[in-house]
């Protein structure tokens, strides 16, 4: 039997911090997984600022680099912190606001059909073992719940917004992650297929 929160698109193992920055998906199937990275301030981990940004409560005077974030309404479905803690902000059945101007295989507005996962990190630092372990488990759940998400439909933000975004960056271990997914999900293959 599927748990009540799973029916509503909430991952049972995630800490829930509800964001107001979402809306209903159009009549579109969930068929894309987008991986991002984030840290606030840049390069600092374990701060409360990502939660605050996604919840619309960020004090933009708390750090000089936050000035450009004033009034920004953004969210992701999930955040995986450096220690592997998993936070969910928006139900996967709803549209989180993470991709911005984006296109995948000629289809624009990726937020309409994508789930967004933020990894606490930067483009130029390796992610942690705990993050990859959590990401593989979450991906397995998402692929089971949304069968149109296949390995070839897992992308970085840079793939759907080239020239505008660079995350998750060159330190993200695509080959190790995709191999782990293939081991966890029967029939999963490489990103390039």
From the list 64, 118, 130, 193, the catalytic residue is: 118
Provide DSSP, the chain: ---HHHHTT--TTSEE---S-EEE--S----EEEEEEE-SSTT--S-SHHHHHHHT---TTSSGGGGGGTT-----SEEE-TT--EEE-S-TTEEES-S-S-EETTEE-GGGTEEEEEEES-TTSPPPHHHHHHHHHHHHHHHHHSTT--GGGEEEHHHHSTTT--TT-TTS-HHHHHHHHHHHSTT---TT-
| Catalytic annotation present for 118 | yes
Residues marked as catalytic: 118
């Amino acid at each position: 039997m599927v748990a009540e929160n799973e029916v509503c698109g909430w991952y049972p193992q995630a800490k829930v911090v509800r964001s107001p920055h979402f809306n209903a998906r159009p009549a579109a199937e969930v068929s894309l997984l987008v991986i991002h990275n984030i840290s606030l301030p840049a390069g600092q981990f374990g701060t409360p600022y990502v939660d605050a940004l996604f919840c619309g409560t960020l004090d933009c005077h708390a750090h000089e680099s936050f000035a450009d974030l004033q009034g920004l309404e953004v969210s992701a479905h999930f955040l995986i912190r450096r220690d592997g803690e998993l936070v969910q902000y928006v139900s996967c059945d709803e549209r989180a606001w993470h991709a911005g101007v984006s296109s995948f295989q000629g289809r624009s507005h990726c937020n309409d059909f994508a789930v967004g996962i933020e990894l606490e990190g930067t483009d130029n630092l390796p992610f942690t073992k705990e993050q990859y372990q959590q990401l593989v488990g979450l991906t397995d759940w998402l692929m089971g719940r949304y069968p149109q998400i296949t390995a070839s439909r897992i992308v970085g933000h840079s793939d759907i917004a080239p020239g505008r975004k660079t995350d998750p960056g060159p330190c993200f271990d695509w080959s190790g992650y995709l191999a782990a997914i293939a081991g966890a999900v029967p029939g999963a293959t490489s990103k390039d297929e």
